[in-house]
Chain A
């Protein structure tokens, strides 16, 4: 323990949680982990995470490992319901002065409610919404959109700096999730539009490699087009892992739409994407007649994500080139 940078608790060691744990472990942190799925916890333990038998044990072990600092427990579970269960239990069992860091995407109002309840017990809640998938978590290259009090956020900063390379403290608790929702709307809707654009192109005999070539050249350029092929792979991975490949994006968009509604913002197009995307994604995977996929995409040597045709010769995305570290 002497050479440890400190202890961090992680509730939820699935795809993202285990990636974050791995990056912290490599940087010299001690990690205590908990998961409702014993198999996932076993795999994390094999990678060096100290397993806890319950959320209470997780809170206690994290506090015991943090004698000189505010104990930090990160929540990286799947969905609002699990987040709610974990946050309530951790709020009840974590010692006064602890900070709960919520990475799980949820509505800003949910964070505000959790933070209110936690404050009564002297526990802080910081929302640190993640931009970038587990690939970027493994590289310590997440974008973190952070909400919370200045003190609590400062206490977590060394952890954030280890797992992220773009950190934005945007306001009080909830601001990080609001930013994440905005990010989701921008990213997911642009992917949905790209799926329709690919169908239009296929109907006129254009291969997807040709389409990414012309799109990334001009006004229509987007990160999704530059990393075309990534979402296909991610869905295949998720289908194998838990079978939930088609509803996640819509859930994220619906969260954004309801967050808009409670503040009188109508988002009819986002709502339409949420409604139509599952069938569009299924068609992508199950109806080959609608698509003209190109060659299997190699990955970027920097970010690890698929390279669309125009960037294969260089081996990196243009936006990754100046970040080779």
Chain B
């Protein structure tokens, strides 16, 4: 039994995760269909597998960091035919939670465990070993993967059975994005009654029921969309799609989320409208940022230079 961890998929995220593991002293057997990506990781200290099947035969814990649901299914299909009973597949890709649940059902027949670890944070945080992980899986499987998770993450939440990790990510998206969508309507209402956004973020104090991290970092989305627009990324569509995925994931379990679906539908239009409004106010001036988290400071926190939640 080897302690070598298998990593399948060495793109942006997979490569960063693998390097964090190597830095944490965990030996890696790696596989990617791109020989260039594989060679790059070997130069960082990983061992290259001869094939996906070779990797499946030689590792007890295998991280899957490919991009799409279809790729996860293809990789897992092959691994399930070769991996030994008692091994464990860790799905780190962002996929539908039902994909993980189906996979866990298939794997259980072979005595193989499945854990999903939804990633909060992108390749940059993965590279630093500072991801937030939302983990779904049975207790004993999650426990055996803990050293691996500790090497790549700063915060870990074991939230439920297989699939729950991906679902938790969607829950987070739903709350932050859908709430932002309605916050935009509240700001429009305030504006026509003479209430500026600085005034609103001030009277909605931290103990008001309308207070949120989104409000405390008000201005962040305006800036981020501008940066992405400059890089030709249509973030409006992307945020709408994240919400849409949350509604679909619920639908696949027989639960309808009409408000989430409505927000998903309206969001791209709302964001474009917001961008026009902000453009109409004149040249865009980004607001001051928090000295700890580096995100925007709403009016009441500017004097202190940081958010209350960042002071801890």
Contacts and interface: CB of A to CB of B under 8 A. Distances in A.
A185 B186 contact: yes
A108 B193 CA distance: 9
A88 interface: no
A215 B172 contact: yes
B178 A222 contact: no
Contacts of A145: 203
A194 interface: yes
B208 interface: yes
Nearest to A145: B203
Given A178-B195, A204-B163, A222 B211 contact: yes
Interface in B154-184: 155, 157, 159-161, 163-164, 167-168, 170-176, 178-179, 181-183
Interface size class of B (residues with CB under 8 A): 35 or more
Given A214-B172, A220-B176, A183 B309 contact: no
Contacts of B187: 182
A197 B270 CA distance: 21
Contacts of B202: 168
A178 B171 CA distance: 31
Given A217-B132, A218-B172, A183 B204 contact: yes
B249 A200 contact: yes
Given A222-B175, A264-B192, A265-B188, A191 B97 contact: no
Contact of B309 (A221, A270, A320): A221
A276 B182 CA distance: 15
Interface residues of A, number: 75
Given A197-B174, A214-B134, A265-B189, A182 B195 contact: yes
Contact of B171 (A131, A207, A211, A260): A211
A179 interface: yes
B304 to A, nearest CB: 12
B170 A200 contact: yes
B260 interface: yes
Contacts of B185: 185, 189, 260, 265, 267-270
Interface string A306-325: 00000000000111100100
A307 to B, nearest CB: 13
Given A108-B193, A222-B179, A196 B207 contact: no
Contacts of B254: 203
Contacts of A201: 164, 167-168, 171
A90 interface: no
Contact of A192 (B191, B206, B250, B259): B259
Interface in B124-176: 132, 134, 136, 155, 157, 159-161, 163-164, 167-168, 170-176
A199 B254 CA distance: 10
A170 B187 CA distance: 15
A223 B194 contact: no
Interface in A183-237: 183-194, 196-197, 199-207, 210-211, 213-215, 217-225, 227
Interface string A105-137: 000100000000000000000000001100010
Nearest to A190: B179
Contacts of B199: 168, 170, 179
A225 B209 CA distance: 9
Interface string B231-258: 0000000000000001001100111011
Interface of A: 108, 131-132, 136, 141, 143, 145, 166, 168, 170-171, 174-175, 178-179, 181-194, 196-197, 199-207, 210-211, 213-215, 217-225, 227, 256, 259-260, 263-265, 267-270, 272-273, 276, 290, 303, 317-320, 323
